[in-house]
Amino acid sequence: MSARGKIATSAGGTILFVDEVHRFNKSQQDAFLPHIEDGTITFIGATTENPSFELNSALLSRARVYLLKIG
C-alpha cells in the first residue's frame, strides 16, 4: 500500500511542522499546497515575521493564523 493510502486508512494523518517557514521561497511553499488540499498533511508553520508579507497568498488562504504574544 502506498504511503498516501496508509495515511487515508489510518486514524490520524501526518502533521508537518515547519519552523521559520518564512525562509521558504514561493516554489517551496507551493509544493505543500496539493498535500494540504487533499488532506495528506496538516501543515503547521511558525514564523517570527508577518505572515501576510512572508507567506504566499495561496498558502495563506488555506491557513488559520494565530498570533502569540508573550508578556
Q: Which domains does the chain have, with CATH numbers?
A: 3-61 (3.40.50.300)
Cα 25 to the chain's mean position, in Å? Answer: 13
- Could you write out the DSSP letters of every residue in 15-58? EEEEETGGGS-HHHHHTTHHHHHTTSEEEEEE-SS-HHHHS-HH
Prediction pTM value: 0.76
Structure-model confidence comparison of residues 8 and 53, the more confident one = 53
pLDDT tens by residue, 25-37: 999 999 999 999 9
Share of the chain above pLDDT 70, in %: 86
How high is the pLDDT of residue 60?
Answer: 95
How high is the pLDDT of residue 67?
Answer: 93
- What gap in Å lies between CA 39 and CA 26, rounded to an integer? 21
- What gap in Å lies between CA 24 and CA 55, rounded to an integer? 8
